[in-house]
Structure 1
């Protein structure tokens, strides 16, 4: 088991491209998922698993993959992005999302696919792989989030990221009135799941996460978080008060089911949303995995060092011929 800590510098994102297939898939419980495909219709399939939960996909996510080689599949998870109904919490749990990924695989006629996930997308990709290892040809994972209680507490309770960004934390904390006997995460969840949600509460939630997401302040990232604030805040708070709807004893206790599946983990050294210890812990628990720690990056996939490392990791899978339709 080796850790590659060398930064990658020779790769950039591929040019923008349009999807050749867009559809909505009815998965039951009142949910319709947005799905799109781009790249090579006969290429090796890769499924992009977005973060949040509730973050949704963006056109930029198509650009990590050589469109001549890959059949690029994006989907918005329940309540996120273009999926309907937006922000819905009904039947919205990790087992539901895992089942949806299998429905998508069957609907698209895919035998096995590469999983490409970031942040919460890592969490969901790992859980899908643990449930359906025979369907996973490999994984490229960025900004590892293991969804342990300590990982949730780091971002949403006093004493973690609040010590690095005390000014942003103060704005996040003070956006809600203090209440005896209820911690901040619980109070946000209560407000965000009211019948009529105050948009300013969702904006405060998104602004806190955006403040922690990049090595240096990025107005573009802040604007991106604000655009999707309502669904993101509602769904994230719904998941995190429930511990992410994780299996008993957490993801790490089920790593044996991923034995033999190749993985390349990419993580920013100064990730303040998901500290690098999570990537190191996953790497140690996954014999044969590769780890690239990018020395000049935080959490956001928009950061140049992370983009270069991710493109290189995907290219490595293409060159090795690890996946097949």
Structure 2
């Protein structure tokens, strides 16, 4: 069961490079174990209830909106918005908060960023809790977006709806180029249709079981959909601004850091082989495969495993 909803004890904005401004929140125990919550996407923004995976008496829970999304500004700004910029921003946030070391907690794109952050400076990360690993290799992007990818083959009906605004694409590169053109076109209706199609694709395939009447789409602000669609497309079109297989090639740099990897057996957004390969290469990791779950944090098996992982880390660090 998730911990009760709590209000942040501090909300702030940090001026970072290139005229970007990062929104952040602190919740729980100001003197507790620092834990950084990294949202997915890119562009998903800090979700409501992000602190509910952690005991508020034990953890000092830190969350932020990455460049261009959520309450950070400017919105949907692609200039000076790369993975290297995001890592630099997180180092700046840690320094601003006077945190020497923290536990890093991330899901999906948040796993990519968390692993890269730890690889960039292993001395600042005490432990990692990762859900739905995304290694950002070409094959991983192809699985999620490609016309011959795993997700398209498992959900051909939903994939047809996804690419309807662009009609067809023979590759991930072509798909992203066509969506980028629509995101930037002068026709508001076409822009909106493209944004919704991109956002709804991931939503429709994220859960193992999707009720027939399920729809978060009407409740999700268009600005949030646009953050995810525009920033996610920007990053995936550029292979997330990292070289192929960078994470696995550099995993020995964090071999000593304990990590808990959680992955739904039937995750169709981020294929489970990514967590399996990561675990095999990472000496101090453990892999927890959730039998009846997909990609979403909202699935009971996933959320329970994340809470158990945070308790395990707290016990280890005390």
Which TM-score tier does this pair reach, normalised by the shorter chain? over 0.9
Q: Distance in 1 between the 2:112 and 2:216 partners?
A: 22
Look up the match of 1:272.
268
Q: What is the TM-score when the length of structure 2 is the normalising length?
A: 0.93
1:310 aligns with 2:303: no
Q: Would you say the 8 A contact 1:113–1:138 is kept in 2?
A: yes
Instruction: Select which of 133, 139, 143 maps to 2:128.
Output: 139
1:171 aligns with 2:171: no
Q: Does the residue aligned with 1:216 lie in a helix, a strand or coil?
A: coil
Q: In the TM superposition, what is the alpha-carbon distance from 1:180 to its structure 2 partner?
A: 8.9
Instruction: Select which of 203, 210, 233 maps to 1:217.
Output: 210
Instruction: Select which of 44, 59, 79 maps to 1:90.
Output: 79
Instruction: Select which of 45, 59, 62 maps to 1:70.
Output: 59
Range with bigger deviation, 46-55 or 173-182: 173-182
Structure 1 residues 179, 304: CA separation in 2 closer, same or farther (over 3 Å shift)? Answer: closer
Look up the match of 2:17.
28
Look up the match of 1:208.
201
Look up the match of 1:111.
100
Structure 1 residues 46, 179: CA separation in 2 closer, same or farther (over 3 Å shift)? Answer: closer
Structure 1 spans left out of the alignment, 5+ residues: 1-11
Q: Deviations over 1:189-244 (max 9, x none)?
A: 23224577611111000011111111111635555666521011100111011000
Instruction: Select which of 47, 51, 54 maps to 2:40.
Output: 51
Structure 2 spans left out of the alignment, 5+ residues: none
Q: What is the TM-score when the length of structure 1 is the normalising length?
A: 0.91
Look up the match of 2:257.
261
Q: Cα RMSD over matched residues? A: 1.8
Q: Would you say the 8 A contact 2:137–2:244 is kept in 1?
A: no
Q: Distance in 2 between the 1:179 and 1:314 partners?
A: 42
Look up the match of 2:287.
291
Look up the match of 1:125.
114
Look up the match of 1:189.
180
Q: Distance in 1 between the 2:218 and 2:136 partners?
A: 25
Q: Distance in 1 between the 2:93 and 2:269 partners?
A: 29
Q: Distance in 1 between the 2:22 and 2:250 partners?
A: 28
Q: Deviations over 1:236-255 (max 9, x none)?
A: 11101100001464211111
Q: Would you say the 8 A contact 1:50–1:57 is kept in 2?
A: yes
